[in-house]
Structure 1
Amino acid sequence: MGERGPIGHRVPDLAALELLLAVARLGSLGRAAAELGISQPAASGRIRTMERLLGVPLVERSPRGSTLTRAGALVTDWARRIVEAAEAFDAGAQALRSHRDSRLTVAASMTIAEYLLPGWLIALRGERPGTAVSLLAGNSQFVAERLLAGDADLGFVEGPAMPPGLAGVVIGGDRLVVAVAPAHPWARRRAPVTAAELAAAPLILREEGSGTRQVLDDALTWHAAPLLELASTTAVKSAAAGGAGPCVLSELALTEELATRRLVEVPLADVAFTRKLRAVWRPGPEPSGPARDLLALARAPAR
């Protein structure tokens, strides 16, 4: 026997098979076309195409209506089984989509989790009220680990570069600010603080592995050992506001403290701390379902 080509080249498509079943049930090509929402010429064309594909006549047309040939009746029996199998396949696929869409797990670094993600999740709730969202918050390294382990569907990180082993897209930018308590000498000085002064000062910093710390380490070729290393933005702000020393944090995280002068921004002379905010996911195409919708909300321009 010779090699057989792909089965799709020899089997009519589902639309044609559904039309044949409608003709068999209604006894009229015109009524079958109307039920399926197509024109009668289009229906006739589908039947002719199917007859050429199979090499046998399937429908006899007369002024009294349309009847199936013997071959048409046999093909209709086969078509019914194919359409039923396709309907079962579609129902199963819908069940898979429903299960996927019922839950969303997001991993986010602390600044995004605290200051940006809540607004995105409120908007997502309006679009997908039936989706339950779980949030895993940590530093950028933690986010990458959760995604690679399969524990999260979508992640958000801050930092100078894409975490290794992940795909992603830039969704925005951020600026890091040096801030001190109002009583600190840097709050009253007129000249901006230089990079050398900043590097020599004991600072209150986030822990290694955080996006904030990565930006600082990349911008300064060296810096003194941290005065304090803390794992939360709130703890860093509290320590700085209490007078322990200067801190380096996202401008997003310091909006309220700077507005109320609980902390004061320190102007810098020859260094700037900027970073990119990224949505990240496991290698492959962009996420689907609720993760796709959340990604779209994160990428939308701020209003």
Structure 2
Amino acid sequence: MDVQRLETFVAVARSTTLAEAADRLGYARSTVTSHVQTLERTLGAPLLERGASMNRLTEAGARFLEYATDILDKLAQAQAAVAAAAQDRPSGLSIGATASLCTYRLPSFLRTLRRLMPHLETQVFVGSVAELRDQVGRGELSAALVNSATVPTAHRPAGEGDRRHLWTDQVVLVGAPEQVARPQRLLVTAPGCVYRDIAEKQALPLLGRVQIQQVGSVDGVKSSVLGGMGVGVVPAIAVGPQLRSGQLAELPLPALSPVMTELVWNPEATPAHVIPHLRRLRPPQPLPPTRPRDVAPARPRSSYVTTGTAS
């Protein structure tokens, strides 16, 4: 079975329309349609519902999706293993990340790399965004997970060349229930942190006269807020359980800018056989709906990046 047609089908399954899938793949829409139709003839079953305005998998399509993603994943693993063996040296990747990303995003990222490249050796280093970008640029690190504030109305591409957008996290201003009515202190992270910038530029003007106190990291802000010391700006993923339990409350203010997490890498410092995997990374995409009688959708294993803790 042709690998290119499998990749086309998986892209179609992860897209809302055929036109969107064609744009992501860089194909003409007629090529995408031809690939899907060829698979349907080979399998002897329709994979997509006809006549729907959105891509909708049939029951056969939903079942085939899991097999198609498994095949593509196994092929990618085989290519990586062969390339590493041909180089006759260990396959290693040095990865940098900010402290908050080490806590809330790095574990799922490393699990994904291990699934794709079981023999890949990784080492993780912690630093600020500026430090990590400099280290990647100088080749001291192969790659780094870094975050930056996004503009909600701006279109941000998924990434080209030596970078990929992996997650977009909502940001919240929270405090203990007794603090949110009349906050007296804004707790902030260290200078250079994206959450410090959002706190000073977006949250502070909304709070009026409050004292600013630096407490270091996102976890430092979270712990201090839980201790009743004030209110703070943190990613929603960091305080989801506390908001649900009522330990913390979100201030009723206009929404803050979300934060985008990117993987950036240095092609000269990254093993050549690893780069194709990094270039295929993309944000997790929800599956299009299937018919009510269909089985549960297959897990989105071909997206490479897993979602980790829900925010």
TM-score by length of 2: 0.52
Aligned to 1:238: 223
Aligned to 1:279: 263
Residues of 1 paired with 2:250 and 2:271: CA distance? 38
Tell whether 2:179 aligns with 1:215: no
Q: CA 1:170–1:242 in structure 2 vs 1: closer, same or farther (change >3 Å)?
A: same
Q: Are the aligned partners of 1:204 and 1:229 in contact in 2 as well (CA < 8 Å)?
A: yes
2:237 corresponds to which of 252, 261, 264: 252
Q: Are the aligned partners of 2:148 and 2:261 in contact in 1 as well (CA < 8 Å)?
A: yes
Deviation at 1:96, TM superposition (A): 7.1
> Which runs of 5 or more residues in structure 1 are unaligned?
1-92, 190-196
Residues of 1 paired with 2:269 and 2:126: CA distance? 24
Deviation at 1:286, TM superposition (A): 9.3
2:103 corresponds to which of 96, 101, 114: 114
The count of residues paired between Structure 1 and Structure 2 equals 194
1:178 corresponds to which of 153, 156, 173: 173
Aligned to 1:80: none
Q: CA 1:271–1:115 in structure 2 vs 1: closer, same or farther (change >3 Å)?
A: closer
The within-5 A match list for 1:134-173 is 134-160=123-149, 168-173=163-168
Q: CA 1:284–1:135 in structure 2 vs 1: closer, same or farther (change >3 Å)?
A: closer
Deviation at 1:238, TM superposition (A): 0.9
Residues of 1 paired with 2:199 and 2:88: CA distance? 43
The within-5 A match list for 1:66-77 is none
Residues of 2 paired with 1:168 and 1:176: CA distance? 23
SS in 1 for 2:196: helix
**Superposition CA RMSD, Å:** 3.5
* Per-residue deviation, residues 174-210 of structure 1 (Å, max 9, x unmatched): 22101101232x2xx4xxxxxxx98xx5311111111
| Of 211-220 and 147-156, the range deviating more from structure 2 | 211-220
Aligned to 1:60: none
SS in 2 for 1:276: strand
> Which runs of 5 or more residues in structure 2 are unaligned?
1-82, 151-155, 286-305
The within-5 A match list for 1:72-87 is none
SS in 2 for 1:178: strand
* Per-residue deviation, residues 72-113 of structure 1 (Å, max 9, x unmatched): xxxxxxxxxxxxxxxxxxxxx8667453x6211111123322
Residues of 1 paired with 2:114 and 2:268: CA distance? 26
2:187 corresponds to which of 173, 180, 204: 204
Q: Are the aligned partners of 2:187 and 2:221 in contact in 1 as well (CA < 8 Å)?
A: yes
Tell whether 2:213 aligns with 1:228: yes
TM-score by length of 1: 0.54
Q: CA 1:272–1:289 in structure 2 vs 1: closer, same or farther (change >3 Å)?
A: same
| Of 232-241 and 215-224, the range deviating more from structure 2 | 215-224
SS in 2 for 1:239: helix
Q: Are the aligned partners of 2:100 and 2:217 in contact in 1 as well (CA < 8 Å)?
A: no
Residue identity over aligned pairs, in percent, reads 22
Residues of 2 paired with 1:263 and 1:295: CA distance? 39
Deviation at 1:224, TM superposition (A): 6.5
Q: CA 1:169–1:132 in structure 2 vs 1: closer, same or farther (change >3 Å)?
A: closer
Larger of the two Rg values belongs to structure: 1
